[in-house]
Structure 1
Amino acid sequence: MQQLLIITFLFCVGVCRGQSPILPINDANYPEATGAYYKDLNNDLNRYVGTWKYTNGTTSLTVTLQKKVMQHIINAPYGYYEDLVIGEYKYILNGVEKINTLPLLTSITNPQANSIKSFIAVTTGDIRL
């Protein structure tokens, strides 16, 4: 019976390890931690998601942004997870398409390879142009 208790105790100690911390992405006071999850706790990144278009005559810039949740980031010497915004764009100058990376938004499997990527959300003040 005593051996069964010891085995059960050792199993619980092995299984009940501490969880990886979940930290808010907009708080710079947290240290970097192996296995941490920098989460968009207040959904601050959601306000950037969508397609944004600027047009002036025959010149336009289209930017499409998407939110990716719990993306694994391999960063020596440790790895961590984070919520981030990724995006691609299309630029047309005087009716001529100069660059179009929008198709990459669905074809790239590593979010770090996208043309636009960010995990920081500005939460104080208004965004003014």
Structure 2
Amino acid sequence: MKHIFVTAFLIITCINYSAQQVLPLNSFSMDLPHGAYLKDLNSELDPYIGTYKANFKSNDIILYITKEEKKLEKGSDIEYYMDALIVKYIIKNSAGVILQDTTNNTSIINSLYSIATKPQFGQVVLSYYGTNCMVGWGKVNLKKINTNQISWEYLPNDLVISDERCPGNPDLTIYLPETKGLIFNKQ
């Protein structure tokens, strides 16, 4: 009897596993079947993995870029999985004081991860959730210049936060470099 249950479980597991549709990374998300997997079939994300450093307005910015396979994405109507770059960072001022450190961040606040690639431009598009109360949310474009350098462009959305929408006294400072063409060097 136990053997029958184990066999049935394995068959159901195999059917569920094989039912997941694997699609290229840049498949349009509005057309995805529930539970689909957007896989980095062409290794477009791999060249960005590593630790990078830049200086902007006397602040040192260190990016720690890793790749997460099968990152769960939840939309209003659909859940799917995708391979994504996850960017954690530390920003220090000229005195070496840490202004922001997301290396141990597990919340959505300050999260920065890839949502698409633009192979024709050699770019990866990242989504930035923003700081407290979503201040500074927007997109970051990374472009691979060579094996040791990437270019950064941060495009924050303008959002005015009222005290009613963001109670208390949270830090609403955007520490990410708001610029285009900032060069990060691989460490």
TM-score w.r.t. the length of structure 2 is: 0.49
Alpha carbon RMSD of aligned pairs, Å? 3.0
Q: Scaled by the length of structure 1, what TM-score is found?
A: 0.68
- The match for 1:101 is 102
One-letter identity of the residue aligned with 2:35: G
Q: Is the 8 A contact 2:23 2:39 kept in 1?
A: yes
* Residue of structure 2 in register with 1:117 after alignment: 113
Offset at 1:93?
1.6
Q: Which is further off, 81-90 or 92-101? A: 92-101
> Which residue is equivalent to 1:38?
38
DSSP-derived class of the 1:33 partner: coil
- The correspondence of residues 1-129 of structure 1 with structure 2, limited to 5 A, is 19-28=19-28, 31-55=31-55, 59-95=59-95, 96-104=97-105, 108=106, 115-126=111-122, 127=143, 129=181
Kept in 1: contact 2:73–2:81 (CA 8 A):
yes
Structure-2 change in CA distance of 1:97 and 1:81 (3 Å): same
| Structure 1 unaligned spans of 5+ | 1-11
SS in 2 for 1:124: helix
1:33-72 deviation per Cα after TM superposition (whole angstroms, max 9, x unaligned): 1111111110101122111101369631111111000122
Letter in 2 for 1:103: N
Amino acid at match of 2:102: T
Q: Which amino acid aligns with 1:77?
A: D
Equivalent residues of 2:86, 2:112 under 8 A apart: yes
SS at match of 1:103: coil
Matched letter for residue 111 of structure 2 = S
Which of 1 and 2 has higher RCO (CA within 8 Å, sep 6+)? Answer: 1
Stretches of structure 2 lacking an aligned partner (at least 5 in a row): 1-10, 123-142, 144-150, 152-180, 182-187
What amino acid is the match of 1:118? Answer: S
Look up the equivalent residue of 2:83 and give its one-letter code: D
8 Å Cα contact 1:25-1:119 kept in structure 2: no
Per the alignment, do residues 57 and 125 of structure 1 end up closer, same or farther by CA in structure 2, a change over 3 Å counting?
A: closer
Count of residue pairs the alignment pairs up: 111
Distance 2:24 2:41 in 1: 6
> Computing the radius of gyration over CA atoms, which structure comes out larger, 1 or 2?
1
Aligned 8 A contact 1:91 1:97 in 2? yes
Structure number with the higher helix fraction is: 1
1:119 partner SS: strand
